[in-house]
Amino acid sequence: MRMPLILTALIRLPSSCHRQQTAGVPDRRPTVHQHPLAYLIGLEGVALLRCFAGEDDSEATTARLAGVRRLLDAAEELGTGVTGTLITTQEGYRTWASSYDAPGNQLIDIEQPVVHRILDALPPGVAVDAACGTGRHTVHLSGLGHRVIGVDSSPHMLAVAASKLPETDLRLGGLHRLPVASASADLLLCALALTHVPDLHPVFSEFARVLRPGGHLVLSDARSLLEGVGRPMPGRDRAGRFVVMPWFDWRTSDYLAAALPLGFEVRDCQEPLRPNPLVREDGSTVSDPPGPAQHDPLAPPNIWALHAYAPEATNAAYRNRPVAIIWHFQLGHRRRDRRPR
Ligand SMILES: C[S@@+](CC[C@H](N)C(=O)[O-])C[C@H]1O[C@@H](n2cnc3c(N)ncnc32)[C@H](O)[C@@H]1O
């Protein structure tokens, strides 16, 4: 996902929002240094590991080693990258809210139909869209006949949701303490938000508290190229500083370790793949119009523009890699480890 530049307009908090606890305070190192070569040589490295594993031949190995040399020779043109300050998700989505729904987001284009297929098979009831953002899935849940409660910690994202869904119950609140009564929901959806959470356990506990026994939990998250290695999203804040939001790339076993002790049972787990090839010969993304984005050596690196410097390595590295993970859990009738409220 690409984070846009500066948002200048201040958006009014929807009157239907209930003020609750805030969330998203980063707890990692305070800065992230993103060097274009770290990404590009990383792609070459992943492609080389695939050669080493026997997925590609000796000719491909030679081509990839030559690619590394070419990249090192282009170091001056690529620049030395930028150091971004880690910011909270509230700060980040304040900037992103106005353009979050813009078309052309490959992750969303692939994730959405998978999530909707799961949601479409569930009976209507009370549905909580936790970290609902601009209401992308909230709209769908309403259309399915659910009584929907949307919760998010970003007033700016909620303001966009409120403009689409003026009648919907939207609440300002955090995933760690949802402003929703215990055992009141038949369905809880949390899409593309757990990558921002530093610990899954308290959040899954909260999901289990809010769901009634037998309730459904549907989750989606972005997948990085390497499981467990995040890809924080760079951008600029309103003052022009380079900033990044926290990104935690959870392993499949992390979700299970958080969910199973609470009595959640797995109903489905899908990892839809990225398109293959991911980029054209000129490095532009196959799902975008032809012509690559331009890399700016003085700006936070945009990986979609960097692919033009190593299109073959990009396709080799991302081949058969998932873009998202999508879970469908159901809460068993035996309640365990859940705190009442
Ligand atoms: C990538 S957006 C996803 C929005 C929406 N679920 C969707 O799929 O389009 C992530 C959302 O999670 C929200 N968020 C991140 N951390 C949160 C937290 N701890 N509590 C509540 N919302 C959070 C952000 O404000 C943002 O709206």
Q: Which atom of ligand 1 is nearest to the CA of 111?
A: 8
Q: Are 308 and 283 in contact (CB under 8 A)?
A: yes
Cα–Cα nearest to 282, from 254, 263, 317, 310:
310
CB of 222 shorter than 6 A to ligand 1: no
Bridge partner list, 33: 83
φ and ψ of 247, to 5 deg: -140, 120
- pLDDT of residue 18 exceeding 70, the answer is no
| DSSP state at residue 324 | E
C-alpha–C-alpha distance, residues 233 and 303, integer Å: 10
pTM of the model: 0.89
C-alpha–C-alpha distance, residues 201 and 213, integer Å: 19
CB of 161 shorter than 6 A to ligand 1: no
Residue 1 vs residue 225, higher pLDDT: 225
Angstrom CA distances, 259 to 40, 63, 76, 302, 336, stand at 36, 44, 47, 34, 11
CB of 175 shorter than 6 A to ligand 1: yes
Q: Which atom of ligand 1 is nearest to the CA of 131?
A: 22
Query: How is residue 299 written in tokens?
Result: 């700006």
H-type alpha helices, the chain: 36-52, 58-73, 75-78, 89-96, 106-120, 136-143, 155-164, 200-210, 252-259, 303-306, 311-318
- pLDDT of residue 17 exceeding 90, the answer is no
CB of 136 shorter than 6 A to ligand 1: yes
- Report pLDDT digits (tens) over 249-284: 999 999 999 999 999 999 999 999 999 999 999 999
Among protein residues, the one whose CA lies closest to atom 25 of ligand 1: 154
Mutate to test the pocket of ligand 1, among 157, 203, 327 (most ligand atoms within 8 A of CB): 157
The answer, yes or no, to whether the previous bond of 277 is cis (omega within 30 of 0) is yes
CB of 324 shorter than 6 A to ligand 1: no
CB of 115 shorter than 6 A to ligand 1: no
Q: CB under 8 Å to 262, separation ≥6 — which residues?
A: 204, 205, 208, 331, 336, 337, 338
CB of 93 shorter than 6 A to ligand 1: yes
CB of 23 shorter than 6 A to ligand 1: yes
Q: Which atom of ligand 1 is nearest to the CA of 154?
A: 25
Instruction: Report residue 71's pLDDT band, with 50, 70 and 90 as the boundaries.
Output: very high
Residue pointed to by tokens 């353009």: 99
CB of 153 shorter than 6 A to ligand 1: yes
305-329 average pLDDT score: 97
State the DSSP H helix or E strand holding residue 221, giving kind and residue range, or none if neither. strand 211-222
Whole-number Å distance, alpha carbon 311 to ligand 1 midpoint, is 32
Q: What is the architecture, at CATH level 2, of domain 30-331?
A: 3-Layer(aba) Sandwich (3.40)
C-alpha–C-alpha distance, residues 331 and 160, integer Å: 31
Mutate to test the pocket of ligand 1, among 148, 153, 171 (most ligand atoms within 8 A of CB): 153
**In this predicted structure, what is the pLDDT of residue 9?**
25
- pLDDT of residue 293 exceeding 90, the answer is no
Please, what's the b/e burial string for 25-57 (b: 16 or more CB within 10 A of its CB; e: otherwise)? ebeeeeebebbbbebbbbbbebbbebbeeeebe
Q: Can you give the three-state secondary structure of 271-321, one letter per residue?
A: CCECCCCCECCCCCECCCCCCCCCCCCCCCCCHHHHHHHCHHHHHHHHCCC
**In this predicted structure, what is the pLDDT of residue 338?**
52
Mutate to test the pocket of ligand 1, among 178, 188, 192, 220 (most ligand atoms within 8 A of CB): 192
State the DSSP H helix or E strand holding residue 329, giving kind and residue range, or none if neither. strand 324-331
If one counts every other C-beta atom within 10 angstroms of the C-beta of residue 142, the result is 20
- pLDDT of residue 32 exceeding 50, the answer is yes
Q: Which atom of ligand 1 is nearest to the CA of 23?
A: 19
- pLDDT of residue 42 exceeding 50, the answer is yes
Whole-number Å distance, alpha carbon 87 to ligand 1 midpoint, is 14
Query: How is residue 155 written in tokens?
Result: 């007033």
